[in-house]
């Protein structure tokens, strides 16, 4: 920033949701010039190519200028609003707005874009993964059934500011090989281990969502010394209750009409289900081999309509040296939040107003919980 | 997640991946390799606009050049399909359908029905259509409505590279005869396309833009022109829902009707002539099945009832453009009894 | 054309078999002719009586790997390929039990399981399809041969000419059989075919051309055997022209005022069944009693076919909409 401009001006910037995001638009301002905001308050509805979401305030302050117009493309990190205390002059604010507008009007700079997708190999299967961030603790994000490495899009950049963050596509998902063998978490765990091996990593923090949580447990139980901490988000396998209809329905669905209500069950607020989200899931399911993989995985996760459960035993096998956190949305309609009680020795975070996808519904809280877990590791 | 390639490359990739997966898939057509019997390069063209380039060397013996004998080689593709192959034959310009139409509409389309359910004819006939290249009257027509009319045929026209690859793979795997329409002005269009194989179902229209004020139903190249019009109208506060039919046979009636029930106003955009067209077909559908919801007469934006003219000045008037679509939308929104 | 053609030895079983097939075609067609006159048979029928030696002489050289395509005058080719006569009769009567469940009729009888790609309502519709089945056989390496039957009328159709060129250029295992029965509807072949013989065109398409007395089973069998062997061995296509006449009109109901007595002459002097019978009894390969026994069995079969067809159920409203697509 221009040294003439007052340093008390705090920019609100277009977030980076996902490693490939380059542009976003404000579709609605929730705050007005003159409003006081606290950390975590909703500021604006943002639309990106991949997803829509609500931008939460990272700083507290008074909203003095709204910079980005509704509906215009803003590059990631571009300033969309300015917070500043009352003492900052109008002239300094105008100058800051001018600078910010120049960045927006210039568009996406050359050379930006998604980082390279890397591949590892596990049991003859190609495993895709991406990574970013600063040197330091390695964090590996493991998505759940029907997800992919982009499930973490609200968390990846913020975590990458502090850690070296990787996300993989499990077999059957994303751009990894679609063959899942018998669909067991063991096969999926092999993929996670393969990525760690390919990275040459001797110790990593694992974050696992839903089925990915069970997978993270399998990995940790095999070699607890290699895992620095475990953050489990609505993990599978901790009790018999599960929304079996969702698992099977998701594998069976062939059209947008069939898929949309199912996807809605993942969230506490169904408005988060955008057309783009459903379209992307439909395009994924139409790749060769995906529906077969999903059926195999659902078959392995379920015993009739009940959830197969050996995750508690895995926690015990991991042992007390590995800090475990379990995060659950109170309004989870896929796996009931009560199962958090079954995660022995874990610190529990129950998030009100979140469903089965707290890492998308309340990313700020999830991020904080992950950072706390990492801090507990020795 | 997907890299950006052209419509042409997406088709080539679909063909290559299916030929890799299933050895019964063969490709034939005039100059589909190019250079047959000639002293110079084999695979000289890979099709007149390069769609089949490279397949000749990758799949020896499975890419066949043909003499200029559409009725014989289109018929041969059809006969071979009844005998266990999955041929993808090229009718270079759909304008040439006249010399081989019998094999398509009297033979392939009717085998299954006439033979009491005992025939399976999994043939794909790829063909180029559409105006805009100054190719004049006999190389620029659409004609998909003629094929849509025939029971026993399926008719497909992708508008984007993503749709082109998915619909081509579906067409090859489909066990019925498929007419696959490629707009010649779309071959260089780029878009994101997954590297893996995937299919798109027939009979599923794509809502490419959501909007609550007017429904625009369209297909092929006109999808892009319609989106251009919708962008202009959106800036003026009129929100258009743009529906890409993707396939006219089978037809996704539900998506069209759901939208018209919501907006009450329909504009159909179709590059072909108006009489007995897809535009007329969709208009009739809306009037028959969504009459109660309609707030205004249906508007059709089509080419005129003339052959395609040669001169740029005339061809540009012939092809529906964004302004004409904007005008049609304003007509339905501004209509009063 | 006399019986001087040297013929390959056919066993007693073969001789009885081909006689049975020809007799079945003859009785089938004669019976359809009689029944059609009662008004009970719907639509059009085009009868093959008189031409039996062509269908049987060619098809008796084929096996399960092979495919034929026929014309609107297809009953003979169907029977020669082993399509069930009772199912055919039911189809002609438009019954649900017919070869095509009543949805095709006389002109569209087909049985792909027997390598019979169908009678065809479009003149010249078959040859391109046969290029396709021949191509499939070549690519799959089955050794199969494909035979296109067409008439003197069909020999002028662009599809037929294009197909002969394509089969030559692609070196396909195909045989083109021009059944010149003298008339394309009412138009004589001497008028409509520019060359003296249809077979003269063969050289123009880079393949051998053969003219055969279509009333002489043994001549047909010999010529077909050679052409089929050539195709099977990778030697490419052949054009065979049968010269004979059809005993009935273009379709049933045709008053045939364009003809002048050649049918009576053919039935009396040239008839293929009579000549076959005379020859095999003369050489002693078969006894007259053997042939009479076959005749009696065939009569029973045709009676059965007609009785069953007349009693069979018609298709229902539900059948109207089925089998347009494999899956829509």
What distance lies between CA A289 and its chain's CA centroid? 25
| ipTM confidence | 0.90
Share the mean pLDDT of chain B: 96
Tell which phi-psi region holds residue C112, choosing left (phi > 0), alpha (psi between -120 and 50) or beta. alpha
Q: Which helix (H) or strand (E) holds B296?
A: none
- Tokens for A143? 């998505």
Please indicate, yes or no, whether residues A292 and A272 belong to a single structural domain of this protein. Answer: yes
Residues in chain C: 328
Strand-strand pairing, A61-66 and A36-37: antiparallel
Please indicate, yes or no, whether residues A102 and A157 belong to a single structural domain of this protein. Answer: no
Residue recorded with tokens 């990313």: A363
Is residue A4 included in any domain, yes or no? Answer: no
Is residue A359 included in any domain, yes or no? Answer: yes
Q: Which of B76, B113, B117 sits opposite C131 (nearest CB)?
A: B76
User: Is residue A1 pLDDT above 50, yes or no?
Assistant: no
- Tokens for C6? 């040297």
pLDDT band at B36 (very low <50, low <70, confident <90, very high): confident
pLDDT at B34: 82
CA B27 – CA B48 distance, rounded (Å) = 14
Q: Does B66 touch chain C (CB under 8 A)?
A: yes
Residue recorded with tokens 């007799």: C23
Closest CA to B209 of B192, B224, B191: B224
CA C218 – CA C225 distance, rounded (Å) = 10
Residues 136-165 of B with CB under 8 A from C: 151-152, 154
Please indicate, yes or no, whether residues A150 and A44 belong to a single structural domain of this protein. Answer: no
Q: Which of B195, B199, B210 sits opposite A286 (nearest CB)?
A: B199
In chain B, the residue whose alpha carbon lies closest to the alpha carbon of A285 is: B198
Neighbours of chain A (3+ CB pairs under 8 A): B
Please indicate, yes or no, whether residues A167 and A299 belong to a single structural domain of this protein. Answer: yes
CA C176 – CA C182 distance, rounded (Å) = 18
Please indicate, yes or no, whether residues A216 and A265 belong to a single structural domain of this protein. Answer: yes
Please indicate, yes or no, whether residues A368 and A324 belong to a single structural domain of this protein. Answer: yes
Residue contact B194–A20, C-beta within 8 A = no
If you write DSSP's letter for every residue of A118-173 in order, what string do you get? EEEEETTEEEEEEEEE-SS-EEEEE--TT--GGGGTTTHHHHHTTSEEEEEPPTTS
In chain A, the residue whose alpha carbon lies closest to the alpha carbon of B258 is: A257
Instruction: Tell which of A106, A128, A153 closes a domain.
Output: A106
Q: What angle do CA A42, A44, A48 make, to 5 degrees?
A: 120
CA A219 – CA A208 distance, rounded (Å) = 11
The 10s digit of each residue's pLDDT in B81-119 is: 999 999 999 999 999 999 999 999 999 999 999 999 999
What distance lies between CA A282 and its chain's CA centroid? 19
pLDDT at C8: 56
Please indicate, yes or no, whether residues A37 and A94 belong to a single structural domain of this protein. Answer: yes
Instruction: Write a three-state SS string for C101-158.
Output: CCCCCHHHCCEHHHCECCCCCCCCCHHHHHHHHHHHHHHHCCCCCEEEEEECCHHHCH
In chain B, the residue whose alpha carbon lies closest to the alpha carbon of C163 is: B72
Q: Using only C-alpha atoms, what is the Rg of chain C?
A: 19
CA C118 – CA C116 distance, rounded (Å) = 5
Q: Yes or no: say if A343 and A325 are a contact pair by the CB < 8 Å rule.
A: no
Please indicate, yes or no, whether residues A55 and A194 belong to a single structural domain of this protein. Answer: no
Domain count for chain A: 2
Share the mean pLDDT of chain A: 93
User: Of A125-129, B27-31, C128-132, where does mean pLDDT reach its minimum?
Assistant: B27-31
Residue recorded with tokens 């419509």: B7
pLDDT band at A195 (very low <50, low <70, confident <90, very high): very high
Strand, helix or coil at A302?
strand
DSSP 8-state symbol, A234? S
Is residue A112 included in any domain, yes or no? Answer: no
The 10s digit of each residue's pLDDT in C177-230 is: 999 999 999 899 999 999 999 999 999 999 999 999 999 999 999 999 999 999
User: Is residue A190 pLDDT above 50, yes or no?
Assistant: yes
pLDDT at A19: 74
Residue recorded with tokens 């009931």: A336
Provide the CATH number for the domain around residue A159: 3.40.50.1820
Instruction: Tell which of A42, A76, A106 closes a domain.
Output: A106
CA B38 – CA A172 distance, rounded (Å) = 47
pLDDT at C161: 97
Is residue A241 included in any domain, yes or no? Answer: yes
Residues of chain C with pLDDT under 70: 1-8
Strand, helix or coil at A371?
helix
The parent domain of residue A95 ranges over 10-106
Residue recorded with tokens 């009257």: B137
Please indicate, yes or no, whether residues A122 and A100 belong to a single structural domain of this protein. Answer: no
Is residue A85 included in any domain, yes or no? Answer: yes
Is residue A2 included in any domain, yes or no? Answer: no
* Alpha-helix runs per DSSP H in chain A: 90-106, 156-160, 185-199, 211-222, 244-252, 256-264, 275-285, 290-301, 311-318, 358-361, 363-376
Residues 87-146 of C with CB under 8 A from B: 98-104, 108, 110-113, 117-118, 120-122, 125, 127-133, 135-137, 139-140, 146
Residue recorded with tokens 């006081």: A36
The residues that bridge with A179 in the sheet, in sequence order, are none
Provide the CATH number for the domain around residue A14: 2.40.50.100
Please indicate, yes or no, whether residues A138 and A212 belong to a single structural domain of this protein. Answer: yes
Neighbours of A173 (CB within 10 A): 30
Residue contact B75–C132, C-beta within 8 A = yes
Is residue A37 included in any domain, yes or no? Answer: yes
The residues that bridge with C203 in the sheet, in sequence order, are none
Q: Do chains B and A touch (3 or more CB pairs under 8 A)?
A: yes
Tell which phi-psi region holds residue C323, choosing left (phi > 0), alpha (psi between -120 and 50) or beta. left
Q: Does B243 touch chain C (CB under 8 A)?
A: no
DSSP count for chain B of H helices, then E strands: 12, 14
Q: Yes or no: say if B301 and B325 are a contact pair by the CB < 8 Å rule.
A: yes
pLDDT band at B239 (very low <50, low <70, confident <90, very high): very high
Please indicate, yes or no, whether residues A151 and A295 belong to a single structural domain of this protein. Answer: yes
Strand, helix or coil at A364?
helix
CA B117 – CA C97 distance, rounded (Å) = 13
pLDDT at A111: 64
Q: Yes or no: say if C59 and C67 are a contact pair by the CB < 8 Å rule.
A: no
Residue contact B102–C112, C-beta within 8 A = no
Neighbours of A271 (CB within 10 A): 9
Strand, helix or coil at C285?
coil
Residue contact C127–B75, C-beta within 8 A = yes
**HSE (CB half, 13 Å, CA atoms) of C53?**
29
Q: Yes or no: say if A268 and A362 are a contact pair by the CB < 8 Å rule.
A: no
Reply yes or no on whether B139 is catalytic.
yes
- Tokens for C224? 């077909």
Distance (Å) from the alpha carbon of C21 to chain B's nearest alpha carbon: 23
Residue recorded with tokens 């046969």: C130
Residue recorded with tokens 């049975």: C20
- Tokens for B187? 């071959």
pLDDT at A272: 85
* Cis peptide bond upstream of B250, omega within 30: yes
Q: Which helix (H) or strand (E) holds A49?
A: none
What is the layout of strands, in order, in the sheet containing B206-209? B206-209, B240-244, B214-218, B266-270, B299-302
Q: Which residues in C lie closer than 8 A to residue B199 (C-beta atoms)? A: none
Q: Yes or no: say if B183 and B141 are a contact pair by the CB < 8 Å rule.
A: no
**Helices A185-199/A211-222 angle, 10° precision:** 60
pLDDT at A3: 46
The 10s digit of each residue's pLDDT in B297-324 is: 999 999 999 999 999 999 999 999 999 9
Please indicate, yes or no, whether residues A172 and A306 belong to a single structural domain of this protein. Answer: yes
Instruction: Tell which of A106, A129, A146 closes a domain.
Output: A106
The 10s digit of each residue's pLDDT in B121-169 is: 999 999 999 999 999 999 999 999 999 999 999 999 999 999 999 999 9
CA C109 – CA C93 distance, rounded (Å) = 12
Q: Yes or no: say if B204 and B252 are a contact pair by the CB < 8 Å rule.
A: yes
Instruction: Indicate the Cα dihedral angle B204, B208, B211, B214, nearest 10°.
Output: -70
Q: Yes or no: say if B330 and B323 are a contact pair by the CB < 8 Å rule.
A: no
Say what the pTM is. 0.89
């Amino acid at each position: 920033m221009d040294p003439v401009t007052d340093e008390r001006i705090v920019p609100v910037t277009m977030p980076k949701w996902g490693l490939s995001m380059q542009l976003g638009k404000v579709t609605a301002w929730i705050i007005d010039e003159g409003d006081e905001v606290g950390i975590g308050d909703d500021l604006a509805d943002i639309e990106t190519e991949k997803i829509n979401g609500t931008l939460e305030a990272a700083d507290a302050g008074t909203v003095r200028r709204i910079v980005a117009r509704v509906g215009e493309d803003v590059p990631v990190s571009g300033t969309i609003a300015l917070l500043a205390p009352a003492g900052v002059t109008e002239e300094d604010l105008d100058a800051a707005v001018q600078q910010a507008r120049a960045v927006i009007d210039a568009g996406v700079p050359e050379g930006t874009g998604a980082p390279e997708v890397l591949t590892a190999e596990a049991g003859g299967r190609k495993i895709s993964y991406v990574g970013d961030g600063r040197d330091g603790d390695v964090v590996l994000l493991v998505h759940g059934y029907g997800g992919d490495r982009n499930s973490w899009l609200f968390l990846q950049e913020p975590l990458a500011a502090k850690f070296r963050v990787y996300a993989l596509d499990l077999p059957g998902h994303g751009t990894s090989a679609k063959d899942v063998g018998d669909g067991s978490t063991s096969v999926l765990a092999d993929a996670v281990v393969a990525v760690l091996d390919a990275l040459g990593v001797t110790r990593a923090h694992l974050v696992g969502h839903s089925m990915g949580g069970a997978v993270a447990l399998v990995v940790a139980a095999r070699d607890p010394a290699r895992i620095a901490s475990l953050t489990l988000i609505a993990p599978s396998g901790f009790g018999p209750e599960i929304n079996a209809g969702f698992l099977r329905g998701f594998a069976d669905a062939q059209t947008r009409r069939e898929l949309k209500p199912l996807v809605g069950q993942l969230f506490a607020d169904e408005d988060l289900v955008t057309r783009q989200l459903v379209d992307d899931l439909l395009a994924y399911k139409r790749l060769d081999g995906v529906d077969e993989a999903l059926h195999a995985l659902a078959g392995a996760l379920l015993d009739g309509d009940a959830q197969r459960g050996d995750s508690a035993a895995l926690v015990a096998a991991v042992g007390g040296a590995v800090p475990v956190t379990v995060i659950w949305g109170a309004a989870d309609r896929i796996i009931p939040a009560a199962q958090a009680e079954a995660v022995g020795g874990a610190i529990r975070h129950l998030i009100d107003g979140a469903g089965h996808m707290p890492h998308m519904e309340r990313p700020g809280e999830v991020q904080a919980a992950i950072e706390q877990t990492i801090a507990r590791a020795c | 997640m997907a890299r950006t390639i052209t419509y042409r490359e997406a088709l080539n990739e679909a063909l290559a991946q299916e030929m890799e997966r299933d050895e019964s898939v063969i490709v034939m057509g005039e100059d589909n390799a190019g250079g047959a019997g000639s002293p110079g390069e084999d695979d000289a063209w890979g099709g007149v606009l390069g769609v089949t380039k490279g397949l000749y060397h990758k799949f020896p013996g499975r890419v066949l050049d043909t003499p200029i004998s559409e009725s014989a080689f289109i018929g041969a593709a059809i006969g071979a399909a009844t005998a266990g192959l999955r041929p993808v034959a090229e009718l270079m310009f759909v304008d040439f359908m006249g010399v081989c139409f019998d094999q398509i509409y009297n033979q392939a389309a009717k085998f299954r029905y006439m033979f009491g359910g005992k025939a399976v004819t999994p043939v794909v006939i790829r063909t180029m259509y559409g105006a805009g290249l100054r190719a004049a009257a006999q190389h620029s027509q659409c004609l998909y409505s003629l094929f849509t009319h025939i029971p026993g045929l399926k008719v497909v026209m992708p508008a984007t590279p993503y749709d082109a690859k998915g619909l081509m793979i579906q067409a090859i795997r489909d066990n019925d005869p498929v007419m696959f329409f490629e707009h010649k002005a779309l071959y260089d269009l780029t878009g994101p396309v997954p590297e893996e194989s995937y299919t798109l179902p027939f009979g599923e229209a794509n809502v490419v833009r959501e909007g609550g004020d007017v429904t625009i139903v369209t297909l092929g190249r006109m999808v892009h022109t319609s989106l251009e019009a919708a962008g202009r109208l959106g800036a003026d506060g009129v929100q258009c829902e743009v529906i890409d039919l993707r396939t006219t046979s089978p037809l996704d009636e539900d998506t069209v009707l759901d939208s018209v029930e919501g907006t009450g106003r329909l504009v159909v955009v179709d590059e072909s002539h108006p009489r007995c067209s897809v535009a007329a077909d969709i208009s009739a559908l809306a009037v028959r099945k969504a009459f109660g919801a309609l707030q205004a007469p249906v508007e059709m934006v089509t080419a005129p009832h003339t052959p395609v003219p040669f001169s740029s000045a005339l061809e540009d008037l012939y092809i529906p453009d964004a302004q004409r679509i904007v005008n049609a939308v304003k007509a339905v929104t501004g209509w009063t009894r | 054309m006399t019986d001087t053609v040297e013929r390959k030895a056919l066993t007693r079983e073969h001789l009885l078999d081909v006689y049975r097939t020809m007799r079945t075609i003859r009785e089938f067609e004669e019976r359809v002719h009689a029944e059609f006159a009662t008004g009970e048979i719907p639509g059009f029928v085009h009868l093959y009586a008189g031409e039996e030696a062509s269908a049987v002489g060619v098809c008796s050289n084929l096996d399960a790997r092979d495919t034929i395509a026929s014309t609107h005058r297809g009953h003979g080719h169907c029977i020669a390929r082993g399509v069930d006569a009772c199912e055919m009769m039911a189809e002609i009567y438009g019954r649900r039990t017919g070869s095509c469940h009543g949805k095709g009729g006389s002109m569209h009888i087909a049985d792909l399981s027997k390598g019979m790609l169908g009678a065809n309502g479009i003149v010249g519709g078959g040859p391109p399809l046969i290029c396709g089945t021949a191509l499939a056989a070549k690519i799959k390496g089955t050794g199969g041969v494909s035979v296109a039957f067409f008439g003197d009328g069909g020999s002028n159709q662009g599809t037929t000419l294009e197909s002969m060129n394509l089969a030559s250029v692609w070196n396909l295992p195909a045989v083109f059989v021009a059944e010149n029965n003298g008339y394309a509807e009412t138009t004589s072949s001497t008028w409509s075919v520019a060359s003296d013989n249809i077979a003269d065109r063969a050289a123009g398409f880079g393949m051998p051309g053969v003219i055969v007395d279509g009333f002489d089973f043994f001549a047909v069998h010999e010529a077909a055997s050679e052409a089929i062997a050539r195709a099977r061995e990778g030697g490419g296509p052949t054009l065979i022209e049968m010269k004979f006449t059809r005993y009935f009109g273009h379709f049933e109901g045709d008053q045939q005022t364009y003809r002048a007595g050649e049918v009576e002459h053919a039935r009396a002097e040239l008839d293929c069944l009579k000549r076959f019978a005379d020859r095999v009894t003369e050489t002693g390969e078969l006894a007259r009693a053997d042939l009479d026994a076959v005749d009696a069995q065939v009569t029973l079969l045709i009676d059965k076919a007609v009785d069953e067809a007349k009693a069979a159920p018609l298709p229902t409203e539900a059948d109207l909409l089925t089998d347009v697509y494999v899956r829509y």
